[in-house]
A and B are shown apart, each in its own frame.
Chain A
């Protein structure tokens, strides 16, 4: 029997396919692709500011601002990482985290020792540890570096990282927009990636849920959840720039952008559940509004433990509402072999 004779392309004509297809099209056009484009724009600006700073055409504040925006766009994109950027080692190239052994600092220095005139081609051949925002942050914010006085040493790395990120981001946008690229794969079914709209929607929601789950690790690890309760401040994401909570907020808002996209909420027939998810987003974001200090300080201040625990609990509620109840309501399978293989 020929395989093709048993193919079922009619699956996409099922009754639930039409609203899902509409929702996915909207998400692709108005949430996911724009998020990739914003991220690419921020990297283009970062590359340009790095070049300008190293040529005395702009100041350090402008470079800090460009870096902050690139970091923000990347954090917002993480719960939306369907498609090419989630594949291979591409996300590692953007950010090396967690960095349990401070590899970023060590490898950045080693790279500059061996390549004082580092260029983009050499960086592209180097480890992912030094190709992205983590190494850029190290140069901008580490206490051991006085960048204005050490531009000769560090500018080649800043410029090369800027170029690498700009190139990577543009390549990803191209992979979205090319014929039969990711944008088309989210609209025309079946295709190489998805059999039917349901598969695409499930992929989007799984990525959103993974993004929220990762946030729990990003908060819980510096709080000491993996260290018998003893805080590990230097295991926080972005501890050098003290942008940990800003990143966290951006990721929550990125996940919320999917939830609030037209039609997504309507796929859930349980209004009470939808309201609880709305409220859970509000709870986390409201809590973040009241952050009394950067995360690296909060985890080292025992007086702030209750505040942090409350934030974690709210994040946990948000995650579990998605992982358990929303996934069940939409009949989406969360992880099987991929998370629990053999």
Chain B
């Protein structure tokens, strides 16, 4: 992303502060000599938690040990920093320098709040929005709004997410409207135990970043928790569900909301749906190739479909497949247990080509962000 003069002026204050913190320089989103940088939360075999960045050639950019396990990553739109967001019910998230790996700032949630593992920076670079739990009313979803002040994120406000147990959120193409997955599950502070499996209320919400509700849509089954998502450049939203009912029951584990259309199940063949074991993890849309990728770690299965036709492009076994992110020619997929893979899907009509990447195997958390 190239900076305008106006943006440069607006950020002069921040950059001045940054200079005292190790020479932070503007980060233009052009591939460097080593290509895209893969960002993820990761563990080591002793159970320690890390915020990591690896180039796809295997070189480690950084692996910064952090106190609590993180989940997803919110990269800043043009500074070389990213927030590694604490996994629920964590009360900490970590702002990390993407070149040095330095932990610049630990963001603590407000009293009676914890993070749900996902956050996004606004395109202005000034604001961060994080899904959070109001533990005084367990499960009531709020969007914590933080202002980036120097290299400190300061709590500014919060607004409701208009649902229970929010999880992933993403910007719509206008850059000011947020799509939020309200998972529908109530959990208490310091707990991951579901309290309301017989009264779940998942929803897909579109809202303005000031909190104003635009739309709220549900799927047919209340036990079908809407958790993860991606948004295509044309505004198509795809969500991945985790069904909290029985394994042998049938529930749509992918759903789609095309621009101007209702939210509905993404068509899947039943054997493919059964492969997912009622659990989907990461969703990634490749807007240029019009492809949709999804990981199903309980089913040990990785999928890619054509976004418009629903035709299967990849349906492959992959142990504990975790994060997935789009790269120019396809997708990169990480794993909690095995090696990471690249799928080249760039040639239509030709089977996708898989490569096993020279990245550390296993212990990657469920989301991966790629800075390309």
What residues on A are CB-neighbors of B58 within 8 Å?
A: 6, 8
What residues on B are CB-neighbors of A8 within 8 Å?
A: 58, 356-358
A236 to B6, CA, bound (A): 70
Residue total for A at the interface (Cβ-Cβ under 8 A):
37
Is the Cβ of B87 less than 8 Å from the Cβ of A342? yes
**Which of these, A190, A192, A333, contacts B337 with CB under 8 Å?**
A333
Is the Cβ of A6 less than 8 Å from the Cβ of B281? no
**Which of these, B34, B297, B338, contacts A341 with CB under 8 Å?**
B297
Chain A nearest CB: distance from B156 CB in Å?
Answer: 26
A6 to B355, CA, bound (A): 8
**Which of these, B248, B299, B318, contacts A96 with CB under 8 Å?**
B248
Is the Cβ of A195 less than 8 Å from the Cβ of B344? no
A333 to B355, CA, bound (A): 21
Is the Cβ of B316 less than 8 Å from the Cβ of A336? no
Determine the residue in chain A with the shortest Cβ distance to B72.
Answer: A342
Interface presence of A4 (CB below 8 A): yes
What residues on A are CB-neighbors of B297 within 8 Å?
A: 337-338, 341
A89 to B365, CA, bound (A): 26
**Which of these, B271, B300, B339, contacts A338 with CB under 8 Å?**
B300
Interface presence of B111 (CB below 8 A): no
A192-B317, A199-B338 known; A341+B366 contact, CB < 8 A: yes
A322 to B88, CA, bound (A): 30
A87 to B279, CA, bound (A): 13
Interface presence of B327 (CB below 8 A): yes
Chain A nearest CB: distance from B223 CB in Å?
Answer: 16
**Which of these, A3, A9, A328, contacts B342 with CB under 8 Å?**
A3
A196 to B358, CA, bound (A): 12
A9 to B354, CA, bound (A): 11
**Which of these, A7, A194, A328, contacts B355 with CB under 8 Å?**
A7
A211 to B144, CA, bound (A): 43
What residues on A are CB-neighbors of B65 within 8 Å?
A: none
Interface presence of A129 (CB below 8 A): yes
Chain A nearest CB: distance from B275 CB in Å?
Answer: 5
What residues on B are CB-neighbors of A1 within 8 Å?
A: 31, 34-36, 56-57
What residues on B are CB-neighbors of A337 within 8 Å?
A: 281, 297, 320, 322, 336, 364-366
Is the Cβ of B299 less than 8 Å from the Cβ of A341? no
Is the Cβ of A338 less than 8 Å from the Cβ of B336? yes
Could you give, for residues 5-29 of chain A, a 1 whenever the CB lies within 8 Å of some chain B CB and a 0 otherwise?
0111101000000000000000000
Q: Which 9 A-B pairs have the closest CB atoms?
A: A336-B336, A7-B355, A3-B342, A1-B35, A8-B358, A195-B356, A195-B339, A337-B336, A88-B274
List 19 A-B pairs, Cβ < 8 Å.
Answer: A1-B36, A3-B56, A3-B329, A3-B330, A3-B332, A3-B357, A4-B342, A6-B357, A7-B342, A7-B357, A88-B275, A192-B316, A194-B338, A202-B338, A333-B337, A336-B365, A338-B320, A338-B336, A342-B227
